[in-house]
Structures are given as structure tokens and as C-alpha cells.
Amino acid sequence: MSEDVSVASGLNCPIPFEATDRVQLGHGSGGKLSASLLRERFLPHLSNPALDQLADAAVVSLGGEDIAISTASFVVSPLEFPGGNIGSLAVHGTVNDLAMMGAKPQFLSAGFVLEEGLPFDLLDRVIRAMAESARAAEVLLVAGDTKVVERGKADGLFINTAGIGRLGSSFRPVPENAKPGDVVLVSGPIARHGMAIMAVREGIAFEAPIESDSAALYPLVERLEQSVGADVHVLRDPTRGGVASALNEIAAASTVGVVLDEGSIPVPGPVAGACEMLGLDPLYVANEGVLVAFVSEGMESRALEALKAHPLGRDATRIGRVVDEHPGFVVLHTGIGGRRIVDLLPGDQLPRIC
């Protein structure tokens, strides 16, 4: 790529606020600070082949069978939002991480940290949403734990879920598997979850409220597997950090370039409006019910057909392709013929979005 583009990416420019000895909000962003926290604080002590995969879920062998294991903690604020609450999100987040490895989610555990004074009616709504989401995702919540901390020592309620999924023997999408020529598909309109949260937080009212897309994605994965199988090279649910961060991670892991066509990226009108109002780029806004799929070029129409056959994927579309050039970089071709680097953000666009 040309030199000025490279400079604009800022990859070689040290970020001053990294030079600190304490955790910052940005370390939870899913961007560069998150990556450095993982690289500098966790991996030096905890490195092992399964953890080092750094995929959405770890793949390990147990009793001769391969399984996927994933975990996530949920600290979303507010706890309830249009389209869901922290309970449904905690189920969807973890089953989706399993699904992105091609695994069928089987079992979940749930750990709760409750703040003294949390109203039971709120807790009831959260638990009910978890139960409904687990049933819909055909996953069993089999183990749980609850701790309580004093008033002011947590923010209402945090939930951790961990999940176990079964892997078939041949369908193994991984972030390292993107290949030049692949098409990049999204299963639906982006940036809805993040903007649903932000609209509540900022008190923005729209004629129709923006609903989170939070949903379990395995049904889409199953259809992709059945229709194009191993021609699905990479799957990712672009949560924290949005589509931009997910594509950057895949470009880096596969050492390929990704080119996005701005005009083809589906952003619902109200979401685009809210993003503009708040100065946010929808490419960096979290999704909780959308997947990105890298698929062999010749399989584009079959893959899109498979996605569109399910309600969650009815607006599936191609947004870009994989190229040999600028390995590790995502480049957006804009409507007016320009292009710009879509980099990992250093820190936080939207804290506590999940």
C-alpha cells in the first residue's frame, strides 16, 4: 500500500495513554488496548496452545472428541435495553462465540455477581430472559453460582457465562483461514446492538426505538455448513469493536488484506442517524446477532442463499473481498472513489456495551 496510507494507520505511532501502570476503560474496548492487555498481562503467564489460538472459542480434545470452550463476562449498562437485557445477551454472547468455531452449543454455566439492593423484579426479568434465550438456542444451562457484594461494589449485576459446544470433524472455520479471493459476507444490518444501548444511555428518542440485534447465530452457521461446508473459511460475530475490529483481527491472523465496499455495508437508517448524531462510525459499533463470513468466491451465491433462508439472515449481503495486497490491513472503498484504512481503534468508542 502507499506510504501515506500506512502512516495514516498509525500502527507505528506509540499511544501516550498506554504508558500507565493502571487499568483504563479502554482496556475493555476490544481495540488495541484490549489486545495489548491480553498480550502483555495475560499471555506471558498463561500461554498454552489452546489459549494461544485467541479465537472466539478454544478447541480442545476431550475423550477423543473435539469440543469448543468459550467464556465471556457481561457488564452491559443499562441492564435492560430494547431487544433484550443482560440475561439474554449473556446467553447469546457465549453461544455465538462457540458457533463461530463451527461448534453446536450444548451446555452453559452462569456465574452471577449481584449488588446488594438489586431489585428482585429486575433479577427475575434477567433470569427469565436467560432461560428463554437458552431454550431458543437449544442449549442447557447446567451449572451456576451466585455471589453478592455490598452496595456500591458492583453495578447492579454482572453475569459470566461459559459454554461448551460440539465440533464436527470437518467444519472448522478459523480466523487464520481467510484466503485471497474470498468474499466477505455479513448476515444482516450492522451496528444495531451498540446503538440500541447508546440511545438508551444518551436518552435519545426515535420514532421507532432501535432494537438490539441480540440473537443466537448457530442456525445460520448450521445452514452455511450444510450448503457450502469447508468453503466457509472464517466466521466471526463482530461484537465489541464492531465489524472493523473483527475484520482487522482476521486480516492480521490470515496475513491478507480486506477491501470493503462502503456502499454495500448495510446500516439501518435510524442507526445511521444515531451514529451521525453521536459522532460514531457504525463499522466500530457492536453487533450481537450478526456474523461475518469469509467464503470461497465461487460459493458466494450459495452461501447468501443459505443465510437468507433463515429470518436472521434475510438481509445477508456481500460487503467486501480478500486481497493479496496490504496484508493485515482493512481498506474501505468509499462511495466517491476514495479509500481509507479501517484501523483497530486504540481505545474505547463505546464502553460497557456488552
Residues within window 69-108 making contact with its own copies, judged by CB under 8 A: 69-75, 106-107
Rg of the chain's alpha carbons, rounded to an integer? 20
Min dist. Cβ of residue 283 to its own copies (A): 22
Reference 278, options 199, 161, 164, 208; nearest CA is 199
CB 304 within 8 A of CB 316: yes
Does residue 218 touch its own copies according to CB under 8 A?
A: no
How near is the Cβ of 78 to its own copies at its closest, in Å? 13
Shortest Cβ 320–its own copies spacing (Å): 28
**Per CB under 8 A, which of residues 149..178 are in contact with its own copies?**
149-150, 152-155, 158, 160, 162, 164, 166
CB of 229 to its own copies, least distance (A): 21
Tell which one of 96, 104, 112, 191 touches its own copies (CB under 8 A). 112
CA-angle at 330, arms to 242 and 225, nearest 5°: 65
Nearer to its own copies by Cβ, of 67 and 178: the residue is 67
> Considering beta carbons, is residue 3 or 120 the nearer one to its own copies?
120
Name the strand (E) or helix (H) holding 275.
helix 269-278
Our CB check for its own copies shows the closer of 7 and 140 to be 140
Q: Are 101 and 224 in contact (CB under 8 A)?
A: no
CA angle 136, 131, 211 (to 5 degrees): 70
User: How many whole angstroms separate alpha carbon 286 and alpha carbon 191?
Assistant: 6
Examine residue 148 and tell whether it contacts its own copies (CB under 8 A). Answer: yes
How far is the first Cα of the chain from the last one, in angstroms, to the nearest whole number? 35
Examine residue 210 and tell whether it contacts its own copies (CB under 8 A): no
- Give yes or no for residue 18 binding its own copies (CB under 8 A): no
Residues 68 and 98 sit within 8 Å (Cβ to Cβ) = yes
Nearer to its own copies among residue 74 and residue 284 (C-beta): 74
The C-alpha cell of 50 is what?
489452546
Residue 144 engages its own copies in binding (rule: CB under 8 A): yes
Cβ burial of 43 (10 Å; 0-12, 13-18, 19+) is: middle
Q: Is 27 in the site for its own copies (CB under 8 A)?
A: yes
| Contact letters for its own copies, residues 30-69 (x by CB under 8 A) | ----x--xx--xx--xx-x-xx-----xx-x-xxxx-x-x
Asked if residue 296 binds its own copies (CB under 8 A), the reply is no
